[in-house]
Amino acid sequence: MKRILLVDDHPIMRHGLAQLIRTEGGLDVCGDAGSAAEGIEAVGRCKPDLVIVDLTLPDKNGLELLKDIQALHPGTFCIVLSMHDESVYAERALRAGARGYVMKEAAADHLIGAIRRVLAGGIYVSESMASRMLEGMTGGGRAKPTASLIDRLTDRELETLEMIGKGVATKLIAERLCISTRTVEAHRAHIKEKLGITDGAALVRFAVQWVESR
C-alpha cells in the first residue's frame, strides 16, 4: 500500500482528494496538512511515499516547501496540484523537486495517473506542457521576449505579478497570499526594479499583457 500525504490549505479540497485516492487500489492517504509548517512535520512523522503539495499555502510558498522536503527528506516523491497556470509554474516546480504538476481543474481526470507514474519513477506534466518543455530544450519553440525577464522574479514575486495582471487589488493580494499589504508593495517595488519598469501604471500594463499573452 502506497502512502500519500496531502498538503493544501482548504479542508474541503483535502477531503475530496482523500476520497478520490482511497477509491484506488494500492493507494491510501496517511495524513494531511493545511500549511507548509504542518506539511514538513507530517512528512517526517508519516514517512509518505508521495506528497501532494498546493502552491498557495498560508505560511510559505509551496515551491519553498518542495525545496524543504528535498533538503530534509531527499528523494521523497512530490506532485504539485495547483490552480496556478502550469505554463508558468510547472518548470519551477520541477526545479524545486516535484516529479509532477497537475492543474486542480484536471485533478479528477489526471491525478491518479500522475500519482502512479511518479510512484513508478516517472515524471508527469500535461501533454501540452511536455511539448512546450521539449520545444524549449530543442530550440524549436519561439521564445517569448518577456521570458528571461520573468525568470528573474522570485516565486512570490511571480505570484504577485500574476494577480496584478488579473486585476486583483493590493489588499486582496495580501489576503490571498497571507502577507501584509506592505509586503505586497515591497514585492511590487522589486518586480519593477527587476523588470526595468519605472511606475505603477506601467507595471499594471506589463502584467496585464503578460497574463493575456499566455
State pLDDT tens for residues 100-157: 999 999 999 999 999 999 999 999 999 888 887 777 666 655 555 556 678 889 888 9
Residue 194 falls within a domain, yes or no? yes
Contact 17, 8 (CB under 8 A): yes
Distance (Å, whole) CA 79 – CA 123:
9
Q: Could you list the residue range(s) of the whole structural domain that residue 121 is in? A: 2-136
Residues 158 and 70 in one domain: no
Residues 68 and 121 in one domain: yes
Residues 209 and 119 in one domain: no
Strand order in the sheet with 2-7: 27-33, 2-7, 50-53, 77-82, 100-103
Residues 114 and 168 in one domain: no
- 20-76 pLDDT per residue, tens: 999 999 999 999 999 999 999 999 999 999 999 999 888 888 999 999 999 999 989
Written as nine digits, the cell of 27 is 493507494
Residue 141 falls within a domain, yes or no? no
Give the CATH number for residue 47. Answer: 3.40.50.2300
Residue 170 falls within a domain, yes or no? yes
Work out the pLDDT band at 19, boundaries 50, 70, 90.
very high
Residue 142 falls within a domain, yes or no? no
Distance (Å, whole) CA 176 – CA 183:
13
